[in-house]
Structures are given as structure tokens and as C-alpha cells.
């Protein structure tokens, strides 16, 4: 059965429409990451599902039945807030016990469940602390424990790693999938961090302009984004977008990019003459000192380390800025400033229409065997 179903959800605040006609469904046990830049209504969406807000329009169904008009306390969802929202006047253990107390049970049973989940999340040693005595990492784990402890069917996580430092965020990112699997909850996970989205999501739903621009697996979203906006949200540095146009020549097509050309093969014949952005992920560009077939002449301006990789700032012939990245150790090619050549993996080339930002897909001809 579909564990969660959103049907044509709309929500406005004053005259500002945050969500318009949004739909999504999630299977039992699935983790769907709601991803998008800030201010796109990700948090609003979770609040609609938990019942803090009511939608202006549309239906929300949990386990098949509509929850519109049902109070938050009767929806049986678990939620972790970005700012933790711990009860400051209660100890960590009381915080975690709160959903269990609401559901009833002897205090011995409750205490045991609290201990179990606390040890799973490695906070058993701070159970008697008030929130103000907890570190940010411990607060975040307490909030997570509270959301999970009653084993909710639907788990809503609102950017739970936002307020913890990079190291803890990384640790938790590795730990979360196992935890979520253990609880079998259907999870909606909100984040602005594309790495979290790719690492945690069975599917990623990209929220832009009040609706989902694309809902797909991390692989599909990264390799096959539907439009420019979606493509730009993934990768660090983000995807290079080089303006140009598609030109048909010699039975094939190539892209005229800021004074350079890249061969596109036969697939883009249908788009000949169109103004485009060529989207190239930095890791799909390799830089070398020597010219090779199809490589673009570039100028290497600056090299900056980024974690264990290096990011190279390059200029095309007309000064257009773009980035290439490579592993630091044993990276092939030039690291010296000055003229160089950039070869681009044609399979990784994404073409977007300049006017609409929509992807232009290559058309594979019938004769070709794939």
C-alpha cells in the first residue's frame, strides 16, 4: 500500500502561494528526500503532513486514509525539527518519552523503550540532562530519538543536521540509513544539502517554485536532470553552464560554445540552430597540457584545493568562466597556470534550451545500436 500520498496540495500565506498543486506518493519504508533551495516551502510541506498547517487545497492520505482536518496528535507521525524543538524544562529522557506517554503504557515499559533507543543513538549517558546541558550533536540525536521512539509509520525529518557541525553531520549521514531501515518508517527528509539528499534518498523530490520539478533516484537526478534549475542544485562546484548554439554540419551536429566547438554527434540534429546552455559537470572535464581531438583550448587561471580534490578555474577563449575538478592525488594533466586543453566526456554533456531552461535530449537514431 502507498504509505503516503499527496494529491494536488496547495498552500498560500497571505497572497504568497508557497505550494501549488503538488503531488507525491511514497511507498512503505521508502526514504524520499525533499530537496530545494531555502524558501521553496519544504518545511511548509512537512508541516502540512504533520497537521501543524492545513492545506488550502488537495488531499493528504496516510496509509490510504485522508488526514485532512485531523489534529496533529492523532495522525501518528513522528517529526524532528531543524531547531530540535526540545522541551527545555524536561530531561532528555522525558523528552524522548513524550510520544510514548501520549500513547499510554506502564512507566517501566516506557523507560525501557527510551533506554533502547538512547543506546542505539548513543545518548544513553546524557538521558538525565536538560537540553541546555546537551551539545548540539546530542540535542539533535535526542530530537531524532523522540521522533523515532514510538515507531511512527511516517517520519518527517526537517533538515535535522542543519544545526550541527560538519563532522557530526557527516557521521550522522552515514548512520541514518541504517537507523531508518531498522524502524521501517516511511521517511520524508528535508534538506538543502545536495550531498545529504543523494546519500540518504531512495528518491529525491526537487522542490522548485511550489511544485516538484523532478522526482527520481539520485542517479537519475544527477545524470539526467529535467532542467537547468535542477542541474544547478547538484554538485560542488556546481555544473558549468556555457552559452552557445547547436550547429548542424557534415551530417552531424556540434555546439558552438563561446568561440569553441564540441562535437555532439548525430543525436542533436533535431535541435540544430537552437540557442543552448551546455551543462558540463566539473568532474567530467579533464585538463591536459597537450591538445587532443575535440579538446577545447582554455586558460587555467587558478587552482584551489577542495577537500581531497582540486578545483581549477578556467577561461574559454572569450573569457567565459568555468570549473573543472579532479582528485588531488595522481590527477592526470596540468596544474600549471596558462594555456591548457580541456576535454569533455561527451556522455556527460547535458544540453539545455537557453530560453526555457528545459533539457534537450539527444534522439538516438534507429540505426545505432545502443
Partner 1 sequence: MHHTSTAERILRGFLLTLVLLFFLFPIFWIFLMSFQTNEDILRIPPSLFFTPTLENYIALISGRLSTVAGDLDIAFMRNLWNSVLLSSLSVGVALILGVPAAYAFARFKFRLGENIAFTLLSFRFAPPLLVLLPLSLYFSELGLSDTYLGLVWVYQLIALPLILWIVRGYFEDISPDIENAYRIDGHSWATTFRKIAIPLARPGIAAASLLAFIFCWNNFVFALVLASADKQPVTVGALAFVTASGIQYGQVAAAIVLSVTPTLMLALYAQRYLVEGLSLGAVKG
Partner 2 sequence: MAKQAPEQPARAPAAVALHLDAVDKFYGDPANPAVHAVKNFSMEVGQGEIVALLGSSGCGKTSTLRMIAGFETVSRGEINLAGRQIDSLPPARRNVAMAFEGYSLYPPLTVRDNIAFALKAAKLEQSEVKRKVDHISALLEIEPILDKYPSSLSGGQQQRASLARALIRKADLYLLDEPMSQLEPQLRSVLRGRIKSYLIEQGLTSVFVTHDQTEANALADRIAVMEDGVLQQIASPAELKDRPANLFVATFIGEPPMNVFPAKLSVNGGHLSIAVEGAGSASGFSVELGEIACPPGSALQDGASVHLGVRPHSVALGKGDTRGLVVSNQWLGDQTHVVIETAGQAMVAVSYGRVEDALGAEIAFSIPPRAVHLFAEDDGRALLHGREVVG
Q: 170 contacts which partner out of partner 2, partner 1, none, CB within 5 to 8 A by kind?
A: partner 2
Does position 177 bind partner 2 by CB under 8 A? yes
> Which residues, numbered 67-106, are part of the site for partner 1 (CB under 8 A)?
71-79, 81, 83-89, 98-99, 101-103
Taking residues 293 to 312 in sequence order and writing x for each that binds partner 2 by CB under 8 A, - otherwise, the string is --------xxxxxxxxxxx-
In sequence order, which residues have a C-beta less than 8 Å from that of residue 231 and are 6 or more positions away?
225, 239, 279, 350, 352
Burial of 130 (0-12, 13-18, 19+ CB in 10 A): middle
List the x/- string, 183-222, binding to partner 1 by CB under 8 A.
Answer: ----------------------------------------
- Taking CB under 8 A as the criterion, the residue among 68, 174, 249, 317 binding partner 2 is 174
Q: Which stretch binds partner 2 (CB under 8 A): 68-76, 90-98, 99-107, 327-335?
A: 327-335
Count of residues touching partner 1 (by CB under 8 A) = 34
Site for partner 2 in 82-141 (CB under 8 A): none
Q: Output 160 or 235, the one with its CB closest to partner 2.
A: 235
Please give the Cα distance from 370 to 358 (Å, whole number): 24
Phi and psi dihedrals of 173, rounded to 5? -65, -35
Rounded to a whole number of angstroms, the minimum distance from the CB of residue 235 to partner 2 is 6
- 195: contact with partner 2 by CB under 8 A: yes
Q: Check binding of 51 to partner 1 (CB under 8 A).
A: yes
- Angstrom distance (rounded) from CA 36 to CA 159: 11
Please report how the helices 166-183 and 136-148 are oriented relative to each other, as an axis angle in degrees rounded to 10: 10
Tell whether residue 302 is a contact of partner 1 (CB under 8 A). no
Q: Which three cell numbers stand for residue 151?
A: 515507531
Beta bridge partners of 9: 22
Residues 147-186: x where in contact with partner 1 by CB under 8 A, - otherwise, as a string: ---x------------x-----------------------
Residue 327 interacts with partner 2 (CB under 8 A): yes or no: yes
* CA-based torsion, 228, 233, 239, 241: positive or negative: positive
Mark residue 149 as left, alpha or beta (left: phi above 0; alpha: psi -120 to 50; beta: remaining).
alpha
From its phi and psi, is residue 133 left (phi > 0), alpha (psi between -120 and 50) or beta? alpha
Q: Does 13 bind partner 1 (CB under 8 A)?
A: no
The cell numbers describing 304, all together, are: 584551489
Strand-pair category, 296-306 with 309-315:
antiparallel
**String of b and e for 50-70 (b: at least 16 CB within 10 Å)?**
bbebebeebebbbeeeebeee
User: Under the rule (CB under 8 A), what is the footprint of partner 1?
Assistant: 47, 50-52, 71-79, 81, 83-89, 98-99, 101-103, 130-133, 136, 146, 150, 163
- The residues binding partner 2 (CB under 8 A) are 165-167, 170, 173-175, 177-178, 192, 194-195, 198-200, 218-219, 222, 232, 234-238, 281-283, 301-311, 313, 321, 323, 325, 327-329, 335-337
Amino acid at each position: 500500500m502507498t504509505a503516503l500520498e499527496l494529491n494536488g496540495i496547495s498552500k498560500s500565506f497571505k497572497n504568497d502561494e508557497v505550494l501549488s498543486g503538488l503531488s507525491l506518493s511514497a511507498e512503505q519504508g521508502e526514504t524520499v528526500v525533499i530537496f530545494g533551495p531555502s524558501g521553496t516551502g519544504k518545511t511548509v510541506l512537512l508541516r502540512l503532513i504533520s497537521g501543524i498547517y492545513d492545506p488550502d487545497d488537495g488531499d493528504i492520505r496516510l496509509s490510504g486514509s485522508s488526514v485532512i482536518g485531523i489534529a496533529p496528535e492523532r495522525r501518528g507521525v513522528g517529526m524532528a525539527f531543524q531547531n530540535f524543538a526540545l522541551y527545555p524544562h524536561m530531561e532528555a529522557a522525558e523528552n524522548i518519552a513524550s510520544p510514548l506517554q501520549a500513547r499510554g503504557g506502564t512507566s517501566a515499559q516506557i523507560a525501557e523503550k527510551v533506554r533502547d533507543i538512547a543506546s542505539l543513538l548513543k545518548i544513553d549517558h546524557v538521558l538525565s540532562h536538560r537540553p541546555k546541558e546537551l551539545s548540539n550533536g546530542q540535542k539533535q540525536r535526542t530530537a531524532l530519538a523522540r521522533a523515532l521512539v514510538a515507531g511512527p509509520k511516517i517520519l518527517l525529518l526537517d533538515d535535522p543536521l542543519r544545526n550541527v557541525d560538519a563532522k557530526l553531520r557527516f557521521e550522522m549521514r552515514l548512520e541514518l540509513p541504517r537507523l531508518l531501515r531498522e524502524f521501517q518508517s516511511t521517511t520524508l527528509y528535508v534538506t538543502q544539502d545536495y550531498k545529504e539528499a543523494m546519500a540518504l534518498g531512495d528518491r529525491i523530490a526537487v522542490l522548485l517554485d511550489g511544485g516538484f520539478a523532478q522526482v527520481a533516484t539520485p542517479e537519475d537526478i544527477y545524470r539526467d536532470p529535467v532542467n537547468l534549475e535542477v542541474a544547478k542544485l547538484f554538485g560542488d562546484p556546481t555544473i558549468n553552464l556555457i552559452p552557445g548554439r547547436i550547429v548542424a554540419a557534415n551530417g552531424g551536429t556540434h555546439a558552438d560554445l563561446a568561440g569553441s566547438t564540441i562535437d555532439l554527434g548525430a543525436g542533436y540534429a533535431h535541435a540544430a540552430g537552437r540557442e543552448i546552455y551546455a551543462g558540463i559537470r566539473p568532474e567530467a572535464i579533464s585538463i591536459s597540457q597537450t591538445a587532443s581531438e575535440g579538446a577545447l583550448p582554455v586558460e587555467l587561471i587558478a587552482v584551489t584545493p577542495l577537500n581531497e580534490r582540486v578545483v581549477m578555474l578556467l577561461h574559454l577563449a572569450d573569457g567565459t568562466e568555468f570549473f573543472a575538478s579532479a582528485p588531488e592525488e595522481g590527477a592526470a594533466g596540468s596544474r600549471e597556470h596558462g594555456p591548457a586543453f580541456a576535454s569533455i566526456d561527451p556522455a556527460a554533456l547535458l544540453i539545455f534550451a537557453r530560453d526555457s531552461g528545459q533539457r534537450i535530449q539527444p534522439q538516438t537514431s534507429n540505426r545505432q545500436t545502443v
